[in-house]
Amino acid sequence: MMVLRAFSSGLLAALAAPKLLLLLWCVLLAASVPLGLAMQQEIADDIGASRVHLDLRQRLDRVWLGEFSGRAESLGKMLEPATAGRVDFLYNLDLLFGGRLFSQHRGLVAAGVGYALVSLLMLGGVIDRFARGGGRFVLSQFLGACGRYFGRLLKLTTLSAVLYWGVYRGAKWVYVTLERGVQDVTVEATVLRYYLLAAVPILLLTAVVMMVFDYARIAAILEEEPGTLRALGRGLRFVLGHPVSVLTLAVLVGLCVIGLVALRTVLAPGVGEATALGIGLVFLLGQLFVAGRLALRLTLVGAELALYRGLR
């Protein structure tokens, strides 16, 4: 029951903060538009004066897409069927859990790291606002809270990055060892079961690290705890003291994310839409999906804050 109340509190807090949601959307837009314009220019330079664009206005030519990706020297290499279709979210998850996220184009990685730092900066303001119960959104007050707590959150995030790196190194060793062990196995279903069994503890360990640091960040702000290790200790004690509630809340929000992704996958018209109405619909659905993800991110922060307050 406490978990449902915490989730409801987080959802209501997110819905009651449209200006905050708009600010987060603008930050994401500012980080992504320059990359989109660079990609557009690279495509235009590749097509040149040819008539390829006439065919592309009707449908996505996957032969051209493969040739373009092979010829490209910059961001164009990242344009693949998986990134241009409806499975881009799953593709990004595969990069994340496969440990290949930072092996992408340097410009894309730099933009991602920059956006992550800005998001971390704003997280302090979000937690502070939700902790105070919302109220009228004042940008100067919000930015002041962002700057005041950024140092604490950055230290915690740096420590979490070290632990994540350790998990990835361990996962890499497990999969390399597993690959050697199944070389003589001829049944694909058996190999898949082995890989799934190996993935479960890795995913659980990653989830535990994520949740511990989520609540450590909340403790660092809510408890006004400037010490990194003390805040981490508070987060660890909370997760270990209430594992069922913490995990249930994480699963509940995760199911909402999966539902949003599934809905977008079903409704998205796809890259073959070339009419003005089709392009407008693709853009609208894409932005609604982004807004939904941002709202769920705010919901998670608000729900974890409510759970921490209710059970500490």
**pLDDT for 295 beyond 70:** yes
* Residue ranges covered by each domain of the chain: 2-311
Most confident range, picked from 91-95, 111-115, 145-149: 145-149
Give the pLDDT confidence score for residue 168 in this predicted structure. 80
Q: pLDDT class for 39, splitting at 50, 70, 90? A: confident
Higher pLDDT, 284 or 246: 246
pLDDT band with cut points at 50, 70 and 90 for residue 83: low
| CB-count exposure of residue 136 (10 Å: 0-12, 13-18, 19+) | exposed
Q: Please, which pLDDT band fits residue 53 given cuts at 50, 70 and 90?
A: low
Count of C-beta atoms within a 10 Å radius of residue 159: 16
More confident of the two residues 263 and 281: 263
Give the three-state DSSP class for 308.
helix
Asked if 229 and 155 count as a contact pair (C-beta separation under 8 A), the reply is: no
Which residues fall within 8 angstroms of residue 162, CB to CB, at 6 or more apart?
A: none
State how far the Cα of 291 lies from the Cα of 309, in Å rounded to an integer: 27
Amino acid in position 110: A
Can you give the pLDDT at residue 146? Answer: 92
pLDDT at 102 over 90: no
- Measured CA to CA, the distance from residue 44 to residue 46 in angstroms comes to 5
pLDDT band for 157, please (50, 70, 90 cuts).
very high
Whose structure tokens read 């660079």?
Answer: 38
Is this prediction's pTM over 0.75? yes
Q: How many CA atoms lie within 13 A of 254 on its CB side?
A: 9
DSSP 85: S
Determine phi and psi for 86, rounding to 5 degrees: -85, -10
